[in-house]
Amino acid sequence: MSYYRTPRENINFVLFDVLDSQCLSQTERFADATEEIFSAVIDEAGKLAENVLLPINESGDRQGAKYDPETKTVTTPEGFKEAYQIYQQGGWSGLSADPEFGGQGLPHLLKMVVDEMVCSTNLSFGMYPGLSHGAIDALTMHASSELQDKYLGKLIEGEWTGTMCLTEPHCGTDLGLIRTKAEPQTDGSYNISGTKIWITGGEQDLTDNILHLVLAKLPDAPNSSKGISLFLVPKFLEDGSRNPAFCGGLEHKMGIKGSATCVMNFEGAKGWLIGEENQGLKCMFTMMNAARIMVGMQGLGLAETAYQVSLGFAKERLQSRSLTGPKAPNEAADPIIVHPDVRRMLLRQKVLNEGSRAMAYWTGLHMDLSHSLEDQDARQKSDDILQLMTPVVKSFLTDEGFFSIDQALQSMGGSGFTQDWPVEQLLRDARISRIYEGTNGIQALDLVGRKLTMNGGRLARTYFTELNAMLSEISNDIHKANCLAFMKALQGSLVWLAKEAIQDPEQAGAAATPLLRMFALTSIAVLWARMADTASKEDVAAKYNAEFLGSKVKCADHFYRLYKPEMSALHEEVCAGKDTLMTFSEGEF
C-alpha cells in the first residue's frame, strides 16, 4: 500500500521562502549548497523513501529482527539488506560529513530533511545508518588522526556502521554509575569488559563491520561522571579477527521491531581511546546532540505519514450527514471530513506538523550557520540558538508527533486500531522516540539546568533577540500581537524561575517540562506568523497554488486559537511551583 508522498511543497516553502536557507551557499563552507542542489537531493531522497523504504516497512514490522543464540548473530527483515545497499551506494551516509574524509560536506539542514523522509517511511531501517552519524561526528571532532584514518572513511562511505554504547542494566541516565571497565595494554589499546543494553544496531547483517563507541572507566578513574572515557571497539580488528564484543540477545519491544536493539557483552574486547582520558562525557554529548535532533525528526516524520493517512481516510470514509445538511447528496452519507470533530483532529495535526517542521528546520539552519559564518559573533549567536533549541526540538517533536499519530488513529475509529491501516504501527514505532537519547523529562532538565544558566543566561537573551528580529518584519498586526503574548508569558515564567530556582532547585525541576513546552509553542507562534506573512507575498504567490498559500494564513490563526490559552495555563503551572508535587510522602502515593 502506498500511503506516503513527500510533502514537497511544504518542505520547499519552509526551506526556501520562509527561512531562505539558500543563504548557506553564500558561505565558503557550503558554497555548493544552492537551491538547485537542495532540490536535487530532496528529489532523490523522496524516491528512496517512497520506492525503496516504504514497501518494506510493514513487512519489517511483522518479521522483526531475528537473533541466533548459537552464532550470536542478527538477521534483519527481508529487503533490509538490499535497501541498505541502495542507501550506501547512493552516498546517503556521507551527505553532511567532512569532505576531508570522503563526505559530501552538504549542510546538516539538508540531512535533516532527508532524515524526515526516511523516518516517515521506515523508521526501523533508518535506525541502522542513523546512529552512524553520531559516531561520525564524535570521531571527526575528538578522535586521533590515526583512528580517523583507519575508521572514519568506512563509516562515511556507509561500508561500516556505528553504535553508541552508553546504557547498562543497572543505570540509564546517570552514567556515573556505569561499571564497564577499560584496562590499559602495553600496545596503547585497552581491554573493554562489561555489558551494555538497548544498543541500536549492535549486531546486524547489513555491513561487514560495526564500530562500537563505548563508555567505560579506567582503573584509577573518579567514581562519578567525571571518570568516564570513550572508546572505539570494532566488531572485527584490522587483521580480520573477531573482537570479543558479542550480542547477547535482542530486546522484545512494542515498536521499531525491524531495528535490532541489542544487549552487548564486551569480553575483554580490544578498544582505543577517543579524546582524552575521563573526558568521555564531552565526546558523548557530541554524539547525543546530533542524535537528539535526529530523534526529533523521527517524531515529525511519523506524524506526517499519519496525517496523510488519516486525511485520505477522512476524505473517502462515508459516515452520517453534515450538521448543516448533505454535502454529498448522491452518496449514502457524507465523508467524515465534513464533521467538526474530525476537522478538530486533522487540523491539530496539520498546524503542529507544519509548525514543528519550521521550528526544526530553523534550528538546523542555525546549526549550519554556527559552523560556516565568517563573523565570530554571528556564529556564536547561531550556536546559542542551536544549544537552546536542541532539547526543545527533541522533546516537542516527539511528544507532539506521538499525540498527532494518536489523533490520526482516533479520527479513523476502529479502522485506525487495525493492522489493515499503517497508523497503529506508526503509533507503536513513535513511542520510543520520547524515551531514547534522553527521555523528554531529561531534555527539560537539560534546558532549565544547563542551557538557561549557561554564560549568565545569554542563550535565552539571544533567543528573544532573534524572535524580536523576526517579528519586526511581520506585517500582520494581529499575528504580531499574538506572538508578543506568547513571548510575554514565557518571559514571565523565566523571571519566576530565576527568582525561585536560586533558592530551591526542586522549583526548577517542577517547572522544567511546562517551560520547555512554552519555548516550543513560542517558537512555533513566531514561525507561523512568518509563514503566514511569507504566503502573502507576490513573488511567493507565483510558486504555489492559492489553496496552499491560503491555508498558511488560516493555520496561523488556528494555531493561535488553540495554543494562546494554553500558554497562559502553562505560565500558571510554572508559577504554581513544586508544592503539590513534593509535599506527598511515599506512603501517600
**Which residues, in sequence order, are CB contacts of 501 under 8 Å at separation 6+?**
448, 507, 508, 511
Minimal CA–CA distance to 214: which of 298, 115, 135? 135
Nine-digit cell string for 135: 559516531
**Which residues, in sequence order, are CB contacts of 40 under 8 Å at separation 6+?**
none
Number of Cβ within 10 Å of residue 315's Cβ equals 12
Give me the half-sphere count of Cα atoms (radius 13 Å) on the Cβ side of residue 266. 34
Nine-digit cell string for 12: 520547499
Q: What element of type H or E holds 189?
A: none
The catalytically annotated residue of 354, 424, 437, 573 is 437
Residue 186 DSSP symbol: T
The total number of residues shown for the chain amounts to 589
Q: Please calculate the CA angle 270-137-524 and round it to the nearest 5 degrees.
A: 140
Give me the half-sphere count of Cα atoms (radius 13 Å) on the Cβ side of residue 434. 17
Q: DSSP readout, 209-269?
A: -EEEEEEEB-TT--SSGGG-EEEEEESB-TTSPBPSEEEEEE---SS-TTS-EEEEEEEEE
Tell me, yes or no, if 586 is annotated catalytic: no
Residues belonging to the active site: 437
